[in-house]
Structure 1
Amino acid sequence: MRSQSLFRYGRRTLVLAAVVFAGLNLVAAFHAWRFTHFTTAASPHTNNPEQLTPLQKLGVLLTGIKNPKPVNAQRPDFPYTTLHLRSPNGRLECWYGPVARPRGTVALFHGYTSSKGKLLTEASHFRRLGYSVLLTDFAGNGGSEGNVCTVGHHEAADVATVVRWLQRRGGPVLVYANSMGAVATLRAEAELGVQPTANVLECPYGSMLETAQSRFRSMRVPSFPMANLLVFWGGVENNFWAFDLDTTRYATRVTTPTLLLWGTADPRVTRPETDAIFAALAGPKQRQDFAGSGHEPYWWKHKVLWKRRVARWCSRHALVR
């Protein structure tokens, strides 16, 4: 009798564990899909985790984020032409703003749930420094085709498409990219053979797993095992192994001169992540930290410092190759 009772208890425990495990995977798969697929619904995007109330955080955990496709709410106030380039991910929409007798061209790439229209201040600064600019919506964002966003993996092919198109036109090509765009740039250089003249990269995260974990930390809930499951399903649903999306590993194969920028109050990209990426970069490198800045444009709080560091770096490398 005792052995039969233990057997039934053990079986019920295993069944319960299997149900819980299946439930966690279903929730993770649902969240991964919402995180990597934009909708066309006209609804506001869910606020950043650190801005949510406890009740709102519970709602997000139960229903997933609202993730409408980013749009370009602003247009350049400088002369520009709209271009379309064909990437493996679909047709990309770009804004090309040439200047007379350029020192080179700066390709600008945005972050997650953003668009090229959010980089107009940066583009204007580069134009004043004497560079033509090319701003691009990653596939799935803004005016580009699709609705999928892999937070840096597939987007590397978009970076490669743009940089190679500019290089065929001649002259130095510099990359300015933030967050997801910086990750995509490092992967494009490490794994797709792209080599621009120089990089200015803002706050790339250390790995897909680390950025997923940071989202849970921001919501003050345990990251394990849901962050791991979220990364697993995000990769499965988008045809890549997301645990290999490792920016620090990419950096070991990047020889392009790189200026790495980071805000000391960034709630999503930690100092250890940034330290590891900077240490791993294989080429000439410099770093600038911005005291008190979060995961945001650094010219918001440090306009003079940001302008000076970017100008000095670009001037140093524009005529290298």
Structure 2
Amino acid sequence: MNKNTKKTIFWTLLGGFVAANVMVYKHAYHFTHVKDGERSLSPESLSFSQKLKILLGGISLPKSQNITSSYTTSTRETIFIPTRKNEYNLECWYDKVENSKGTVILFHGYGGCKSSYELEAHYFRQIGYSTLLVDFVGHGGSEGQEISLGYHEADDVKATFDYIKKNQNTENVILYGSSMGAASILRAIAVYQLKANKLILECPFATMKQTVKGRFEVMGVPSKGLAEWLMFWGGLQHGFWAFTHNPQHYSKKVITPTLLMGGKNDLRVKNWEIDKIYENLATKNDKKELVWINAGHESYVMAEPNVWKKAILNFL
């Protein structure tokens, strides 16, 4: 092999390595930043050509939009709460109930928004609790474009919790979260030692690696190596080491009474992940509950309303 051939091979391999990293960097960026455009279909709904397009160029994730619902109350207040060292403002809806038993703060999942949880909030108000529906940074009416899958969103949980404790004169604060929202609560409790009265968590993922792997697996794409590569660049873009963002570890510091719910048919958050988080909860056995819902990665109150409502009522 002559010298010129070796140079050609070297530069070809180097070029391929750089191009591959640029592609993965773009993937991580599109996965964790909102932009204008049409939203990509859920991984389960993609055709082969659509999967190929996403693998080459990344997903399209426009900022979620809140919609008006029949559950909007006449006394609703729109509140803006500063977060992350006052860099952003969170748009929140506060609905006060007369003779309230306390306040439930509701946090949505990845790419969602507060209006998606109007049905859950309506039920909490029916049983006597005021509610605060929250848009995370980069979602709905809140400022920003970044999504860190629960890492920096923990700051948003703390900001809204502190606001309610300070401004609404309530001693009883319950944190409710689904998917990324649940992971954000677990991190906030572990990092900031929030003194919430109770937690209601739906389908939190166990580790950052597992939730990234799950996206590839749902698409039918091998995840080994790719998931770690994506996490490396995604974490660097958001200023943290993604490999340590693990709700199953955060749960070891949770001493707050906790209701944990999982979907029996969830393809994104595996049943073992829910079991692991439940096992790790530092709360005593009589202060934690695990309820399985006959559902996938979806709204539990819509999938099994009677089971969900009974579990909530019994827990509260």
Matched residue, 1:78: 73
Matched residue, 1:25: 21
What is the Cα deviation at residue 64 of structure 1?
Answer: 1.1
What is the Cα deviation at residue 237 of structure 1?
Answer: 0.7
| Separation in 1, partners of 2:63, 2:291 | 32
| Separation in 1, partners of 2:2, 2:308 | 67
| Separation in 1, partners of 2:164, 2:33 | 29
What is the Cα deviation at residue 254 of structure 1?
Answer: 1.0
Find the residue that maps to 1:252 and give its secondary structure: helix
The reply on whether 1:285 has 2:293 as its aligned counterpart is: no
Q: Work out which of the residue numbers 89, 111, 114 in structure 2 matches 1:113.
A: 111
Find the residue that maps to 1:122 and give its secondary structure: helix
| Separation in 1, partners of 2:34, 2:28 | 11
| Separation in 1, partners of 2:17, 2:282 | 41
What is the Cα deviation at residue 24 of structure 1?
Answer: 2.3
What one-letter code is carried by the residue in structure 2 that aligns with 1:69?
K
**Preserved contact between residue 69 and residue 142 of structure 1 (Cα < 8 Å):** yes
What is the Cα deviation at residue 216 of structure 1?
Answer: 0.6
Q: Which runs of 5+ in 1 are unaligned?
A: 315-321
Matched residue, 1:141: 139
What is the Cα deviation at residue 17 of structure 1?
Answer: 4.3
Q: Cα gap change, 1:7/1:197 in structure 2, threshold over 3 Å: closer, same or farther? A: farther
CA RMSD of aligned residues (A): 1.7
TM superposition score normalised by structure 2:
0.93
Find the residue that maps to 1:175 and give its secondary structure: strand
What is the Cα deviation at residue 210 of structure 1?
Answer: 0.8
The reply on whether 1:58 has 2:52 as its aligned counterpart is: yes
Matches within 5 A, 1:202-217: 202-217=202-217
| Separation in 2, partners of 1:195, 1:115 | 25
What one-letter code is carried by the residue in structure 2 that aligns with 1:78?
T
What is the Cα deviation at residue 307 of structure 1?
Answer: 0.4
What one-letter code is carried by the residue in structure 2 that aligns with 1:288?
V
What is the Cα deviation at residue 266 of structure 1?
Answer: 0.6
| Separation in 2, partners of 1:226, 1:30 | 13
TM superposition score normalised by structure 1:
0.91
What one-letter code is carried by the residue in structure 1 that aligns with 2:27?
H
What is the Cα deviation at residue 301 of structure 1?
Answer: 2.1
| Separation in 2, partners of 1:90, 1:45 | 24
| Separation in 2, partners of 1:195, 1:157 | 15
Cα deviations by residue, 1:11-32 (Å, 9 ceiling, x for unpaired): 7666554443323221110011
Matched residue, 1:160: 158
What is the Cα deviation at residue 170 of structure 1?
Answer: 2.3
Find the residue that maps to 2:253 and give its secondary structure: coil
What is the Cα deviation at residue 192 of structure 1?
Answer: 1.6
Cα deviations by residue, 1:46-98 (Å, 9 ceiling, x for unpaired): 11111111111111111211110111022442231101111115101110000
**Preserved contact between residue 182 and residue 202 of structure 1 (Cα < 8 Å):** yes
Q: Work out which of the residue numbers 308, 313, 316 in structure 1 matches 2:315.
A: 313
Q: Cα gap change, 1:272/1:14 in structure 2, threshold over 3 Å: closer, same or farther? A: farther
Q: Structure 1: which 4+ aligned runs deviate by more than 6 Å?
A: 6-12
What is the Cα deviation at residue 209 of structure 1?
Answer: 1.0
Cα deviations by residue, 1:283-318 (Å, 9 ceiling, x for unpaired): 131100112x1100112221101000011111xxxx
| Separation in 1, partners of 2:139, 2:39 | 14
Matched residue, 1:34: 30
Find the residue that maps to 1:103 and give its secondary structure: coil
Find the residue that maps to 2:212 and give its secondary structure: helix
Aligned pair count reads 307
Q: Which runs of 5+ in 2 are unaligned?
A: none
What is the Cα deviation at residue 44 of structure 1?
Answer: 2.6
| Separation in 1, partners of 2:204, 2:195 | 18
